[in-house]
């Protein structure tokens, strides 16, 4: 009598034990086929080999704190269009960036932008994926950022710069052997936070007055931004965190006492004052948003973006540019000579006006060179190739491929000369008109381009135009530890602290006309 055998006669545990030895023969071929298919799609582009089959490499870069430097080296090694992910390329070519972001371009935003939805429940102008919706929102916000609805914009910035000068004189002036060190890494952000909150909401939050991290803003940002940077790089991570059940389970809320939710609560309170029967009406950015018809909840989301994008990036530009200026005697000497000469002929008010600053060529060269050599924002801001694909520099790029910007590498383009790694403002003074125009167009790319350009660019330039003159006309500044000028880490934005300075009053000078 013969016995028949069937897996149905076994318990589930016995079935698993029976099949387990055969599992590798199934799983390994499936994985190999999957990885080969992933690699094959962009096989003609070169880059780190792990990046061609997995997002693991990008994940490591995202948490390294050195992403700006790593991506720059990738393009140096593999060319202006290199592969860094299964479906991701990166470029340091300014022409490719302009091409993708031009007004008539058929390229769209990639999933990278979904990761910068700071308020996880509502889009902002940076995270908005729908091109038509983005353009409509941007049009409603443009007037506010241009200062059309805030006639006191420049005076408001002057007020905060003067408060910053007063803070230095009150607490951080050293004299002789008396050292009162100032961490300019932190103080610069106090200034830019008070500037953006003053011009946006009509009242500064008081970072300078309190000389502390009001609302724990900096602390919360330094906890949140690395997570955002990771999610912008890794599609599956962002997709997971954006699932409604995940947000309901662990998402922040405006009633939270800590973290991002706390900042959401601040935004809700500030915006809520502009709606309802007892609403406040002011000629500031927030008032302009309300008058343009933006919904209350959308404005709350834009407020969070304003505070982060409008303060962190400008603070980085202030720190980096000042660092290069004060550590190069030739440069600070020439800049002060230009300022003093302008003051002697009555071309420098107190405080300096934005218009006057634009007439100081060496100052403008220092500002542009600072933005070039240390771009404040290095996020990949990836664009998606149109469905039909595209040919770039003779190479076919399949539709749906994401192409990121290596901003740090782009600002070291050959157009800036063989000494592009050197902070040398004279390159702007000595360049012929055509070269200067090319350099200027490339530096402007740090603010984005075309329909994706930064709305706050003009405000940032006003701050930069005023800050260096107002500090350098009053103070001498030197690094306490030149060997370790600061602690700096890059996660799309820069976190910079421990930039300890010894600040002294500048010696009074006699005008050359006296």
Q: How many CB atoms lie within 10 A of CB 224?
A: 18
Residue 113 carries which DSSP code? G
**Separation CA 464–CA 446 (nearest Å):** 15
**How far out from the chain centre does Cα 270 lie?**
24
The pLDDT score that the predictor gives to residue 31 is: 46
Q: Which domains does the chain have, with CATH numbers?
A: 44-505 (1.10.630.10)
**Separation CA 50–CA 85 (nearest Å):** 8
Residue 446 carries which DSSP code? G
> For residue 128, which phi and psi values (nearest 5 degrees)?
-60, 120
Residue among 239, 381, 228 nearest 308 (CA)? 228
Q: How many residues does the chain have?
A: 514
Q: Cβ distance 79 to 73 under 8 Å?
A: no
The pLDDT score that the predictor gives to residue 23 is: 58
> For residue 186, which phi and psi values (nearest 5 degrees)?
-80, -45
The pLDDT score that the predictor gives to residue 253 is: 87
DSSP E strand stretches across 373-499:
383-384, 390-392, 395-397, 402-405, 475-479, 487-491, 493-497
The pLDDT score that the predictor gives to residue 282 is: 85
- Per residue of the chain (514 residues), give pLDDT as tens: 455 555 455 566 665 565 567 556 555 554 455 545 666 789 999 999 999 988 989 999 999 999 999 999 999 999 999 999 999 999 999 999 999 998 889 999 998 998 888 888 899 999 998 888 998 999 988 888 877 777 889 999 999 999 999 999 999 999 999 999 999 999 999 999 999 999 988 889 999 999 999 988 899 889 888 988 888 888 788 788 778 888 878 788 888 888 888 888 988 999 999 998 888 888 888 888 999 999 999 999 998 888 888 899 999 999 999 999 999 999 999 999 999 999 999 999 999 999 999 999 999 999 999 999 999 999 999 999 999 999 999 999 999 999 999 999 999 999 999 999 999 999 999 999 999 999 999 999 999 988 888 888 999 999 999 999 999 999 999 999 999 999 999 999 999 999 999 999 998 876 655 4
Q: Cβ distance 410 to 97 under 8 Å?
A: yes
Q: Cβ distance 234 to 55 under 8 Å?
A: yes
Residue 68 class from Cβ within 10 Å (0-12 exposed, 13-18 middle, 19+ buried)?
buried
Considering all CA atoms of the chain, what is the largest pairwise distance in Å, rounded to the nearest integer? 124
Whether the full predicted model's pTM is greater than 0.85, yes or no, is yes
Q: Cβ distance 155 to 139 under 8 Å?
A: no
Residue 280 class from Cβ within 10 Å (0-12 exposed, 13-18 middle, 19+ buried)?
middle
Is 366 assigned a ligand-binding role in the annotation?
A: no
The pLDDT score that the predictor gives to residue 7 is: 47
């Amino acid at each position: 009598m013969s016995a028949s055998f069937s897996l149905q006669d076994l318990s589930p545990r016995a079935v698993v034990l029976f099949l387990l030895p055969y599992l590798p023969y199934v799983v390994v071929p499936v994985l190999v086929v999957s990885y080969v298919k992933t690699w094959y799609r962009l096989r003609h582009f070169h880059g780190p080999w792990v990046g061609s089959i997995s997002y693991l490499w990008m994940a490591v870069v995202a948490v390294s704190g050195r992403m700006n430097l790593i991506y720059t080296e990738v393009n140096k090694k593999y060319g202006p269009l290199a592969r860094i992910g299964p479906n991701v390329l990166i470029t340091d070519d300014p022409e490719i960036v302009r091409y993708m972001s031009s007004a008539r371009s058929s390229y769209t935003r990639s999933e990278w932008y979904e990761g910068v939805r700071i308020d996880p429940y509502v889009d902002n102008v940076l995270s908005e994926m729908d091109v038509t919706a983005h353009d409509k929102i941007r049009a409603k916000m443009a007037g506010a950022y241009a200062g059309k609805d805030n006639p006191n914009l420049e005076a408001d910035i002057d007020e905060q710069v003067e408060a910053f000068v007063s803070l230095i004189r009150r607490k951080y002036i050293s004299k002789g052997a008396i050292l009162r060190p100032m961490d300019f890494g932190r103080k610069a952000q106090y200034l830019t936070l008070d500037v953006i909150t003053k011009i946006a909401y009509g009242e500064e939050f008081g970072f300078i007055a309190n000389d502390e991290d009001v609302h724990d803003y900096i602390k919360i940002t330094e906890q949140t931004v690395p997570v955002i940077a990771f999610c912008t790089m890794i599609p599956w991570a962002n997709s997971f965190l954006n699932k409604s059940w995940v947000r309901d389970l662990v998402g922040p809320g405006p009633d939270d006492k800590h973290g991002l939710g706390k900042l959401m609560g601040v935004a809700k309170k500030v915006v809520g004052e502009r709606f309802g029967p007892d609403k406040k009406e002011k000629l500031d950015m927030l008032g302009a948003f309300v008058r343009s018809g933006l919904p209350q909840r959308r404005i709350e989301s834009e407020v969070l973006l304003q505070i982060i994008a409008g303060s962190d990036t400008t603070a980085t530009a202030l720190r980096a540019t000042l660092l290069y200026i004060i550590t190069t005697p030739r440069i600070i000497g020439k800049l002060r000579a230009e300022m003093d000469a302008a003051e002697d002929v009555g071309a420098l008010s107190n405080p300096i006006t934005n218009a006057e600053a634009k007439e100081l060529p060496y100052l403008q060269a220092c500002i542009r060179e600072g933005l070039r050599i240390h771009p404040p924002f290095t996020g990949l801001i990836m664009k998606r190739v149109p469905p039909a694909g595209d040919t770039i520099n003779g190479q076919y790029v399949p539709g749906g491929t994401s192409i990121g910007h290596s901003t740090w590498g782009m600002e070291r383009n050959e157009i800036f000369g063989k000494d592009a790694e050197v902070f040398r403002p004279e390159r702007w003074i000595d360049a012929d008109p055509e070269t200067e125009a090319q350099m200027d167009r490339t530096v402007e790319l740090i603010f984005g381009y075309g329909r994706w350009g930064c709305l706050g660019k003009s405000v940032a330039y006003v701050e930069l135009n005023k800050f260096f003159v107002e500090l350098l006309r009053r103070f001498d500044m030197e690094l306490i530890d030149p060997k370790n000028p600061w602690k700096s880490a890059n996660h799309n934005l820069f976190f910079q602290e421990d930039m300890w300075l010894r600040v002294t009053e500048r010696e009074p000078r006699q005008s050359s006309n006296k």
